[in-house]
Chain A
Amino acid sequence: MTRGRLVALAALLAAALAVPAGASGYTVNILTQICLYTFLAGAWNVMALSGLVSLGHAAFFGLGGYATAWLYVTHGVTPALGWIAGAVLAGAVAYAVYWVAFRCGLRGIYFGGLTLVLAESFRFAAINSPALGRSQGLELLGFHMPSAAVYALALGLMAGGMLLTWWLLRSPFGYRLHAVRENELAAEALGVDTFRSKLSATVLSAALTAMGGTAHALLLRFVEPESDFGLSVSLNLLLGTFLGGTGTVLGPAVGITVLFGLREAIALVGEQLAVGTAGVYALQQVVYGLILMLVVLLLPEGLVRVAGSWVRRWWPARATHAAAAPRTVQPGAASGPRAADAGSETAPLLQVAGLTRAFEGLVALRDVSFELYRGEILGIIGPNGAGKTTLFNVISGIHPPTAGSVHFRGQSLAALTPSQVCRRGLARTFQVVRPFASLSVLDNVIIGALVRARDLRRARERSEEVLDFVGLAARRDATAGALTIQDRKLLEFARALATDPEVILLDEVMAGLNPAEQERVAATIRRIRDRGITLLLIEHVMRAVMGLSDRVLVLDHGVLIAEGKPEAIVRDPEVIRVYLGGSPVPA
């Protein structure tokens, strides 16, 4: 942020703080609610950054309010402490619940169901608890805070929350969350500890929500099961964020402001029509529902992003930046000449011994053993269903082996998650490419580079270098989802390379490419090897495997049936029988 912008923001805040001096109690009350709900929607948004949709954030909202109220009513603890206690409690509950949920692999509607049932359990617990005043709730008798002070608190929370989101979106943590949201498996394979990322986002989001819950209790001076743990709290947060735009800084503010504006407008109209307060409330909810449906149908990206694209259309100059500046980077400069080591070591870099993997009854890999030496290109061929991709999935930690072991640089990879395997220096690409489709090409690579780089600046430099190396520098600002198949394959290379690996597992990178494109990819593979990186590649395209590989392994029905130099493999009668069906090898 520039100094000018900071000054402008500070001025804006000061002006906002001065509002209560000249405004009616009604205005201050509405503004307080807008600030507070913007903060809360922002807290919900933190969790949504990782792609998780919570239907039960009321659980944490209520915990904050109830913790503060209970401490105040029973022990006379000042709400300032209750505020912290509530946040800590909510964070702890979120940690415990979501730790188990993520470990159990709860996803989709089952995850949504869990969040909902959590809030409902708390609601019924509050209703049944005499200490919490059952369905009457607790009243903060004798507590008084001037409305201007509550407003200032809410305003401060909102400003802090927006700053936090702004910072998050630009931090390595924010990049990782975005990767998790786009494609969890690909993120994990690029060294992102998805479990920890999701858990951190969730705990942070819960603690912030509890803070908002406390502020809400201070505003109303009571807590009550329905208004604190009820579905409508969760719904408001979801509604505001979706309307404004998930994953944006301004989205919650815009969404909540529009909702509250509408709410007041309907109240006015309802007064004219004399439908009574209950009627007004019902109408408001109907309109909220319609908005939700319309947002999904017409602007699923949210208001902020739509407005942003309008702005860019009218002021195109703002969108361009220093992207066009030419750079001169020596390919391979960062990794150094490791190629010289090739073959000079006798200990294998990767050692697979007796590897077996069964899926219930089906044995996909049976007693597979081989070694990969530093600096070589080892090709693996085999008919469909031979177990090639399963082999990669076991080595890279996606599936645990049923029996046998994988050692990398002498250390066992057993029980490591894919992200840990990646951090050890073993990267992979996927047969079906998995770009983070809505991120730019450069940001895709940055996710990989963050495995080694300590900060974003270094990660960006590293990524630009890698993009130059694979020949994607010109496309670096394009959205990954808009790339051609060939460029997507190159992007897979670039992401894997950015993690600075010693070994890359390439899963059918030639599939779906025409011969000219295959040649370009093959050249890239050779250049990667020349950088000193060892390659294990699965391939269907015979010409490419035979031309590239130093050695070739042949898998059939999960069993290793041949191993040797390419020239020897193409003459092996067993290989010809199972793989080539007796026809001659295309030269």
Chain B
Amino acid sequence: MELTPAVIGQMLVTGVLVGSIYGAVAMGFSLIFGVVRIVNFAHAGGVVWAMYAVFLVTSGGVLGPYLATALVIPVFFGLGYLLQRALMVRIADMTEEMHIVFTFGLLLVLTYLAQFAFGHDVRFLASSERHLAFGGIVVQREILVGGGVAALSALGLHVALARTWLGKAIRASADNRRGAVLIGLDVRALQRVAVAVSVASAALAGGLLATFTTLYPLRAFELAILAFLIVVLSGIRSLLGSFGGGVIVGVLEGAGTLLLSPSLAQLGIHALIFAALLIRPEGLWGRKEAV
């Protein structure tokens, strides 16, 4: 393919949009780590289950994918609340290694339960075949909507955490748990809300992804590795940083796929993250931004 400005522009726009959704996945991942101090690999399992839910509802012809997503989000919010209440709280005081083992276990359960239930066929929703073109750049409608919604909700989450009382309370309990307890915050309840928000964000990202990408159970592993690496790349304590990391990875993936091949692009991304980790061991955005 010839590298005209339009092709490059299209690659960049698509990369940023898809990367925004990756960023949303990574943000949910960092939110849990920031507030509960648990590395939740199972986050991507949630994303894939949301994808299946949206896929099944939509292909049943009942609702459109966006309405289906809107329906799935509150359900996942409730599941996240239960997850924290029933499981995560039990492992909170253990070491980071134990957290990794536990949430990896949960990821395995979620992934292969999906495989058992839905088989390992690759599925996808029919595209609307509608594209938006401006200045020679053509973008599929689902990608534009998906990326736009993901970016807006990432921004919304950031603003909510920065401005609202609940957001400030969650940040306070993430920053200094004992201090938060001392000033009368119900830290456990705040943690449950934060995990619920995180799992709900997984549902949102999953619903958006389902509109334009393929779906298979092992996608959960790929997304888990991707989200983990984005978060490690950008520094896990920073929510907006994670979003930015997602955008960077999205653009790199687009560029690599365009210039090389999808699998070479993956190799390049991994090599870059590898180098970035060694150069900035606390992530690209370091510790400067708190949750």
Residues of A within 8 A of B (CB): 51, 53, 55, 100-101, 104-110, 112-114, 116-118, 120-121, 124-125, 127-128, 231, 235, 238, 242, 275, 278-279, 281-286, 288-293, 295-297, 300
Contacts and interface: CB of A to CB of B under 8 A. Distances in A.
B105 A290 contact: yes
10 contacts: A106-B277, A109-B236, A112-B100, A114-B278, A124-B264, A127-B263, A128-B261, A286-B113, A296-B94, A297-B91
Contact of A124 (B87, B266, B277): B266
B98 interface: yes
Given A127-B263, A292-B102, A109 B229 contact: no
Contacts of B229: 113, 116-117
B232 A109 contact: yes
A18 to B, nearest CB: 37
A234 to B, nearest CB: 10
- Chain B interface bracket (under 10, 10 to 19, 20 to 34, 35 or more): 35 or more
A283 to B, nearest CB: 6
Contacts of B98: 296, 300
Interface stretch (B73-81, B148-156, B267-275): B267-275
Contacts of A242: 101
B112 A128 contact: no
A293 B97 contact: no
Interface in B40-98: 87, 90-91, 94, 96-98
B107 interface: yes
B216 interface: no
Nearest to B280: A104
Contacts of A281: 112
Given A285-B108, A288-B108, A109 B96 contact: yes
B29 to A, nearest CB: 10
Contacts of B217: 282
B265 to A, nearest CB: 9
A124 B266 CA distance: 7
Interface SS of chain B: helix
B108 A289 contact: yes
A109 B119 CA distance: 32
B285 interface: no
Contacts of A297: 90-91, 102
Contacts of A231: 221, 225
Given A117-B270, A293-B106, 9 more contacts: A109-B39, A110-B283, A112-B100, A114-B274, A116-B228, A128-B264, A286-B116, A288-B108, A289-B105
A296 B101 contact: yes
A284 B116 CA distance: 10
A285 B111 contact: yes
B232 A113 contact: yes
Contact of B105 (A112, A127, A292): A292
Contacts of B179: none
B101 A295 contact: yes
A284 B97 CA distance: 23
B109 A283 contact: no
A224 to B, nearest CB: 14
A289 B101 CA distance: 9
A120 B270 contact: yes
Contact of B228 (A113, A124, A279, A285): A113
B101 A104 contact: no
Given A113-B229, A289-B112, A128 B263 contact: yes
B282 to A, nearest CB: 7
A290 B277 contact: no
Nearest to A296: B102
Interface string B97-139: 1101110111111111101100110000000000000000000
B278 A124 contact: no
A292 B102 CA distance: 6
B267 A289 contact: no
B26 to A, nearest CB: 12
A382 B263 CA distance: 61
Contacts of A108: 96
A104 B104 CA distance: 26
Contacts of A289: 104-112
Contact of B116 (A53, A116, A118, A283): A283
Residue of B113, B271, B278, B279 contacting most chain A CB atoms (<10 Å): B278
Nearest to A125: B267
6 A-B pairs with least C-beta separation: A292-B105, A289-B108, A113-B232, A289-B109, A124-B267, A285-B112
Given A117-B273, A283-B112, A297-B90, A292 B267 contact: no
Contact of A286 (B109, B232, B263): B109
B109 A293 contact: yes
Contacts of B102: 292-293, 296-297
Contacts of B105: 288-293, 296
Contact of A279 (B110, B116, B221): B116
A106 B274 CA distance: 12
A231 B111 CA distance: 13
Contacts of A117: 229, 232, 270, 273-274, 277
Interface in B8-32: none
A109 B104 CA distance: 13
A101 B232 CA distance: 14
Contact of B101 (A107, A109, A238): A238
Residue of A117, A121, A128, A292 contacting most chain B CB atoms (<10 Å): A117
A10 B113 CA distance: 44
B281 A278 contact: no
A289 B90 CA distance: 17
Given A109-B39, A296-B91, A297-B91, A114 B277 contact: yes
A51 B97 CA distance: 9
B108 to A, nearest CB: 3
Residue of B104, B115, B217, B264 contacting most chain A CB atoms (<10 Å): B104
